Amino acid sequence: MLLVADVGNTTIHIGIYGSGRLHREYRLRSRADDLPDDLAIRLSGLLGSAPQVEAAAIGSVVANLGENLQAALSGHFGIEAELLRPETVRQADIRVQPPSSLGIDRLANLFGAEELLAGGRYAVAVDLGTATSFDVLQGERTFLGGIIGAGLASTAGALSSAASRLPRVPLEPPPSAIGHNTQEAMQSGLVLGHAAMVDGMLARIQAELPGPAAILLTGGYAGLIAPLLRTPHQWRASLTLDGLKRIWELTRQPPS
């Protein structure tokens, strides 16, 4: 079995793969100050209930947390854990400058969407997490560029912090776009507004591409936003994990 971990600023998304497919998924809250021993304690129940894990692939955008997770898996559980870094991935054509600035999670989305990109086709991966990012992808493992915006929870927190009379509200769709109290008005602006932003940016991206693009949604808020979109799309919760797994597999292959 292979453990794959996508270490983000809000959550650590973990998948257990075996026989080429995803068997189980787990989400832990990211805590940037967790040491290897802390992570080992948090992982002990998870790994105790999971099938035997022999290796691990880690992609992290949080300084030191990926290294600490690697140390926890190898030191406490005897799992051969590899920390994947964008600069070691030679099989992609990265069109952003400098290429080393591309996060491993966004690069993983390219590899996770590979089956949709045959024949030079296009795709856009919309990752709705701490940030909302749009990764514009093309066949032959080409990362064309993208967009990074504030995530839904980040926007909600900033709004409440900046306006003393606006409370924190549950992040869920209101009954109508026109709010009839403060909570509904904020939910409309935050949740429906975020969905409208995603639709609008996808329309702008599509207008700049020479061909149609498949739209893939992933990330912790994809389940909330997906039903509100007017743009046809697929919801792929494991997109980044699938891509990290594919990158790990490629690192194990001898150079051609």
Bridge pairing between strands 2-7 and 11-18: antiparallel
Q: How far apart are CA 198 and CA 225, in angstroms?
A: 9
The pLDDT score that the predictor gives to residue 216 is: 98
Contact 221, 129 (CB under 8 A): yes
Q: How far apart are CA 225 and CA 215, in angstroms?
A: 13
The letter for the amino acid at 24 is R
Per-residue pLDDT of the chain (256 residues; tens, 9 = 90+): 999 999 999 999 999 999 889 999 999 999 999 999 999 999 988 887 666 889 999 999 998 999 999 999 999 999 999 999 888 888 899 999 998 899 999 999 999 999 999 999 999 999 999 999 999 999 999 999 999 999 999 999 999 888 878 888 999 999 999 999 999 999 999 999 999 999 999 999 999 999 999 999 999 999 999 999 999 999 999 999 999 999 999 988 765 5
The pLDDT score that the predictor gives to residue 176 is: 97
The pLDDT score that the predictor gives to residue 22 is: 94
Q: How far apart are CA 144 and CA 184, in angstroms?
A: 38
The pLDDT score that the predictor gives to residue 177 is: 97
* Helix residue spans in 163-238 (DSSP H): 182-187, 193-208, 222-225
User: Could you give all domains of the chain from N- to C-terminal order, each with its CATH number?
Assistant: 2-83 (3.30.420.40), 93-239 (3.30.420.40)
State the catalytic residues. 105
CA neighbours closer than 13 Å in the CB half-sphere of residue 147: 18
